Structure 1
C-alpha cells in the first residue's frame, strides 16, 4: 500500500511539472499583469496526491467485500444452517427431553425419595438458564468477537462434561447443579454464536433460515425422548447420561467446525473495544416482545416438560408418554418452518397473534378433555404446532428492534 501511494505521488508530480514551467513563463511575459502563484498549483497537486491512497483503500475494501461468501444463499450459508440445526437439536432437544428423565427419577431410586418439585427443578433450571443467559453472551460476543470461537469449545466441554459428571450423582442436589445449572450455562454458551452469526449469513431469508435452525430443537426433542427411554430401560440412568454425553460431545464437536462468521473476525486492540448499542433495552417494542415471549414460555414449557408425567398419571404406559412428547416436538418443527416462511412474507405480528390465540384456544378446548391417548395426540399436534412455531417471530422482531436503535 505504501509503494502504491508513493507511485501515485510520483505520477501526480510529473503531471504538474510542465504546467508549473508554463505558468512560470506566463508569469514573466503576461501583458495584463495577472499571475498564478506556483505555490497554489503545488498545493492543488498535493491535494490530488492525498486522494490517491484513499481511492486505493476504497478499491481494496471493494475487493474484500466481493471475496465474502454470498448472503441468503450459497453452499457456505446453507452449511451454516445445517450445522446450526444439529447444534440446536443437541442443545435444546436434549433439554426438552427431560420429561422422560423426570418420570424415571420420580419412580426409581435413588431419587424417588426426593420431592417432585426438586426433581422438576433440574430440567427447569437448565432451560431457564439457557434462555436467560444467552442475551448476556450475545452482548459479550458483540463486544469481544475474538473470544467467540474459543468460548464455544470451552462451552462444549462444560456442556457434555456436566452431563457426564451427573451420572455419578447420589443426591438430587447434585443433579440440580450438574444436569441443571452447569448444563444450562454450557448449552447457552455453546448456542449463542448461532444467534450472533445468523444475521450475517441471512437477511431476506432470515426468518426461513431461523425457523429451519430452530426446528432442530423439535427434531432433537423427538429423537432424544425415544433414545433416552430405551437406554433407561436397558442400561439404567447412569449409563444413559454417559452415553448421551458422548453423543453430544462428538456430534456437537463436528457441527462446530462448520459454524463460523461470514465476516472475518479481528482481535480488538486495547482501547479499541467494539461498542455495543444497549438502547434497544429501552424501546417499547423490545419491552412488548420480551414480555410476550416470557408469557408464552410460561404456557409452553409446562406442556413440553410435563406431558410424559401427565400421560403416566392417567394410567397409561411410560412408553406412551415418551411417544406423546416425541409427537409434540415434531409438531413444533412443522409449525416453526411454516411460521418462518410466513414471517418472510407478512408482518410477524400477525403470525404472533395467530400462534398465541390458536395455542391458547387449543389448550382451553382440548387439554381438559384429553383423557384418552388419541385425544392427547390431537392436543399435542395442534398445541405443539401453533405454540412451537412462535419462536419463528424472533429473527424478524430482533431485526426490527435493532433497526430502531442503529
Structure 2
C-alpha cells in the first residue's frame, strides 16, 4: 500500500449537469477508486460556488478537496504564472491530472492532462466570453504536462500537430461503455408519456452548438418527409416544427431507454474527439449515422453509416438507408461486440499507465 500512487484529479466536471467530459471524469474516478492497492485518488474542485458539493457526487473511496476561489481567477493566475500550485490546497501528490483541458501548476507532482479535442483552436469566436483565453491556457498546460491523454489516436495526432507534443508523451485512453447500455430497453409507456415521445423517432444526443452540425441534420430531416420525427436530447434545444421534438437534459437511466427506443441515432458533427453516443447506440443495437471525421471513423469502425461533413443530402440518404435495411443477426451481434471492446476499466488502466509515466 505504501507504493500507491497519490493522484489529484480535477473533479470540477462532476458538478452540475454532466456533459460528456463529466461522464468521463465520473467513470474514471469510479474505476480508479476500485484499484485501492494501486492508486489513492483525491478529487479537487477549482470553483468558488460548487466545491463543497463535490463530496456528494464522488464514488466511495475518493476524497474531496477544494479551493474556494473563482475558477476564472485561478485560470488568469495560471495563464500568467505557476501560482498557486495545486499542492497548497490539496496536499502533496505524485500526479495531478487535469481532466478537462487545463492542467494546474504543481510544485512536485507530475502533470497529466486530458485533451478531448482541439476544434476550438479554429473556432475561438464560438467560445463563451469566459473561455476566450482557453486556447492559450491549453497550450501552456500542454507545455507543462509530462503526459497528455487523448480519447483517440485521431486527437493524439492533432495534439502533436497543433500543440507540438511528441507522440511518446501521449497516451490514448479510449472512453468506455457502461454495461447498463447493453441491457437497455425501449421507453416504457410512462416514460413515453412523461417525455411526450413519438411512437417512432430519429435521435440526436448532445448539447446545441456549431460543432455538433445540428443545422445539417435539421435540413436533411426537413427535406425528407418519409423520415420519422426527430428527437433532440440535451441542453439548449428548441422545437422548430411539429416534426422536431425536444427532451432536454435526461438522467442516465432515461437516456439509455430513449436511445434504445430510437429508430436510428445521428451524429452529424463537424468534429469530435471520441463520439460516445455512437458506441452507446451500438450497444443498444440501434443503427448509427455519423460524420466521416477521423475520430468517428476510428471509434465506429465499420459499424456506422459515414457521411461527409455538412452534406444534408448524403445524411438524409444514409438515414433512409439505415431505416430501410433490415439488420441481419450477424450485424446485430457485430454492433454489440464492437461496443463491448470499449470499457471504462481499460480507460482507467491506460490512464494509470500515464500516471506512472508522469511520475517517472
Q: Tell me which interval the TM-score lies in, with the shorter structure as reference length.
A: under 0.3
As a proportion of its length, which structure holds more helix?
A: 1
Where relative contact order (Cα < 8 A, 6+ residues apart) is larger, the structure is 1
As a proportion of its length, which structure holds more strand?
A: 2
Between Structure 1 and Structure 2, whose CA radius of gyration is higher? 1
